Structure 1
């Protein structure tokens, strides 16, 4: 048995009917070079032959009684690939808009916990492109639970499942696989007992679970009476930070990667990631202006950083650090803003000593972690006070060479990220074959007129190019003053760790 880490388990505890915690991807393939359309049965055989490269595809969760520890991954003795696949035909006259509408509906549905946490919908019969006579294509709508992978390992998994040659390769027979025996309840309890012996205070999670309802009521009553002023909650209010519903919308903008690289070269000592963040910041600033929302206070993004070892053999689980980053949206010049973002990231302490995301949870017993996640949502803390951050932004470098599936070329990839309470918008940037796609996952009941984000992204790139060309060379060497990013993340971490250490020291007594 392989136990989930604190960070992996937190995505299980955060999940609700309105906030499924899976990562979604939509892959569009051009099948015009194939002699015949790719049949769904052929795809099933192809995927069956490659299951061995992704062991988590045949593993499901095993819960620990009384929540004495986090769940384990075990081999699913009842695994059947058919339970994880679906087929949809949109019709020959359908276009990408119909596909994205379908994908939004599919991604609204949580994955079922009684089986491995993934699902793929094969979508057939639509035409690629906007022309009347578009190329025949098909798509894959993929859901992978965030407890099993992070965004970086998700890209690695799909890279392993696809091919690098346009010539269809023979589909080999599936490798023999025999599930390891399901652990007995006695073994599970013994393992849980061993965990308690290593950290005796964890047994208090059982008591915490027993009084959970009472604790939730008491805390809710006190929070409503006392106007708390946590230094942690320092991000400004924005239209994105409201209670979400189950509805989802995906909006994407495809941009030429060479244009972003040219901006990087013009601005000098910045990274391509800084330029991507600057593009997101300008897009958000323009959207807020359209919504008559204030830009006086700068938005704060949570940016995941991969800490995956180059020698790591498995590509599952969450191995990330996270940084709270001031996006400098109160800076009017979009080229100067990129320099400010670079300073906020590189020159700040959080960048040199990035916040390990699992440090936020490693001190909490599992029942208390689940309770805190539900409290954050149920008490609407982000709405009553200021949010910790306004939105997550993830930049995932993708392959710059074409990928194929049985002779069909991957022409476009869209990505969706999970939303949770008070976070109605997430941006995922993915590069592939010379293009960068900005993917906006949003709750349309929170983010009004979300389709406008696409045009704002195009206009933002134009504006940054113009501002960069007019920037005085002396401005690129002017020292920048400290901003709140340099202290905000450390203050937040110190506050949380201090509180948790006090709590755990009391529990050990």
Structure 2
């Protein structure tokens, strides 16, 4: 048995009929150069032969009675791949708009809990453009957020696809013998053992929180930089409204080379800063056109993978997260990117000290489930200011072409779950020199949401112009403020060393 982390379990507790908590993907394949395009039957055989590379595809949830603890992943002794697949033929209506409409409807349906938490719809008859003949197909994929995060989801898809145009031989599936499901008595005993560990977990978390907070206070006093946001201080926005079950997927593409040129012109910023700056400029323009208040800066929650430094398991959520000021009150989009970079640096101590999967350990599973339910039923999001306005995730994807039995992956769209008070999520994914910016939104909560994609091109052009014309003096001053060592840095480092030694003595 493998137990879900508190962060993984929280996505189960937040789920309802109107807020399904799965991550989605739409993958478009070009099969026009194949003599025999991939059929649904051959796709099923191929997928069956690859199930061994993704163990979670054959694992279901095992709940603990009375929610005394978090659920476990156990082998599904009744696993049947047919329960996770569907076939749709678009016939002569295989256009991009029809495909995204179909995907939006599919994404509205929660995954069933009595089986492994994934589903794939094979869409036949898809046309890559209006002029092309049938010669493409698409996959609409749903994977529950309790099982993966955006970063591990991209890794799973890469494992299922191929890196060469020559189709991999489809072998019979490897023998698989599911381990028997644990008895109720064993599950209860394990839950009791885990409860005994809770005080030690709380002590460890409290020490880390004290270390992070103390460092932040010292940093504020010495450097006179703003502290990271107190909770529920983000401004109200058109995105922070109660959501319904309706979903809409809006996407657009930009060349990565343009973003890299902006990065080079601006100096000491990252490509992720440029992506966040592009999203910030687009959101500002959208809010301006909607007549929304733009006098206060939007706050984004930016998930960051810690998978590379924490190889505990191949799936699940291994994320840290920070609240990031998008500096939307700064009129110059080039200087805004520098401000975003600086705000990210300010939040760094908090991101490193307390990962998102540890914050949820403050509450046992029963209280976490109850609080998630009450958050929605009592409409907390409507009564108080939000903790942040929207999540923005930037996922680096492969820059080489991927294939599925000889058919080339030409485009992918990605979706993320919404919940009450968060009507918009942005997921940016790069692939083969292109960055696809995906807006998942609730059309009943976000007015004129379909216009969001139209702001991207104008926003990028404005950023390019500002980056090319921004004064060297302004850039140099901004870089000096962010990077120049000061006496405060030396004092801070000395105090930090003393603090770590004191905390080390407190650790059991």
Q: Contact between 1:391 and 1:425, CA under 8 Å: does it hold in 2?
A: yes
State how many pairs are aligned.
Answer: 455
1:15-30 to 2 correspondences below 5 Å:
15-30=15-30
Structure 1 partner of 2:49: 49
Residue matched to 1:147: 146
Deviation at 1:477, TM superposition (A): 1.5
Larger mean CA deviation between 185-194 and 359-368 belongs to 185-194
Q: Deviations over 1:132-154 (max 9, x none)?
A: x3461100000000000000000
SS at match of 2:335: helix
Q: Pick closer, same or farther for the CA change 1:93–1:374 going to 2, 3 Å.
A: closer
Corresponding position of 1:382 = 381
- Please say if 1:108 is aligned against 2:108: yes
Over 3 Å counting, the alpha-carbon distance change for 1:200 and 1:343 in structure 2 is closer
Please list, as runs of the form range in 1=range in 2, the aligned pairs for 1:299-314 lying within 5 A after superposition.
299-309=298-308, 312=311, 314=313
Q: CA deviation at 1:64?
A: 0.3
* Structure 1: gaps (5+ residues): 203-229, 484-509
Q: Where does residue 39 of structure 2 map in the other structure?
A: 39
Q: 1:206-355 alignment to 2 at 5 Å?
A: 231-309=230-308, 312=311, 314-350=313-349, 353=352, 355=354
Q: Deviations over 1:315-370 (max 9, x none)?
A: 20100000000000011111110011011112444466364102221121101001
Q: Distance in 2 between matches of 1:349 and 1:322?
A: 10
Q: Alpha carbons of 1:350 and 1:129: their partners in 2 closer, same or farther (altered >3 Å)?
A: farther
Conserved? CA contact 1:302–1:323, under 8 Å = yes
Cα displacement (A) at 1:158: 0.3
Partner of 2:71: 71
Equivalent-residue separation in structure 1 for 2:32 and 2:310 (angstroms): 39
SS in 1 for 2:182: coil
CA distance in 1, matches of 2:419, 2:464: 34
- Give how far 1:382 is off: 2.1
Partners of 2:267 and 2:480 lie apart in 1 by 19
Tell me the TM-score normalised to structure 2 length. 0.87
Cα distance in 1, alignment partners of residues 238 and 454 from structure 2: 19
TM-score, normalization by structure 1: 0.87
Aligned residue for 1:486?
none
**Per-residue displacement from partner, 1:176-234 (whole Å, max 9, x unpaired)?**
000001111121122122223334799xxxxxxxxxxxxxxxxxxxxxxxxxxx95210
Partner of 1:495: none
Q: 1:377, 1:116 → 2: CA distance? A: 26
Structure-to-structure mapping, 1:354-503, within 5 angstroms: 355-479=354-478
Moved more, 345-354 or 371-380: 345-354
Are residue 124 (structure 1) and residue 124 (structure 2) matched? yes
Q: Measure, in 2, the Cα distance between the counterparts of 1:410 and 1:462.
A: 28
Question: Offset of 1:480 from its aligned partner?
Answer: 8.1
| CA distance in 1 between partners of 2:147 and 2:134 (Å) | 35
User: How far 1:41 moved relative to its partner?
Assistant: 0.4
Q: Which runs of 5+ in 2 are unaligned?
A: 202-228, 483-508
Asked if structure 2 preserves the Cα contact closer than 8 Å seen for 1:322 and 1:354, the reply is no
Q: Where does residue 502 of structure 1 map in the other structure?
A: none
SS of residue matched to 1:375: helix
Q: Hey, what's the Cα distance between the residues in 2 that align with 1:45 and 1:317?
A: 26
Return the alpha-carbon distance in structure 2 between the equivalents of residues 163 and 434 of structure 1.
Answer: 18
Q: Which residue of structure 1 aligns with residue 225 of structure 2?
A: none
Contact 1:323-1:355 within 8 A present in 2 as well: no
Please state how far the C-alpha of 1:313 moved relative to its aligned partner. Answer: 7.0
Match of 2:81 in 1: 81
Asked if the contact 1:267/1:476 (under 8 Å) is kept, the reply is yes
Name the SS for the 2:307 alignment partner. coil
After superposition, the Cα gap between the structure-2 partners of 1:38 and 1:61, relative to the gap in structure 1 and judged at 3 Å, is: same
Q: Distance in 2 between matches of 1:406 and 1:134?
A: 20
User: What is the CA–CA distance in structure 2 between the aligned matches of 1:35 and 1:16, rounded to whole Å?
Assistant: 45
Partner Cα separation in structure 2 for residue 130 and residue 352 of structure 1: 46
- What is the distance in 2 between the residues matched to 1:73 and 1:452? 41
What is the aligned-residue RMSD (CA, Å)? 1.9
Residue in 1 aligned with 2:173? 174
Shift in alpha-carbon separation, 1:354–1:282, aligned structure 2, 3 A? farther
Q: Structure 2 CA distance, aligned partners of 1:232 and 1:109?
A: 31
Corresponding residue of 1:13: 13
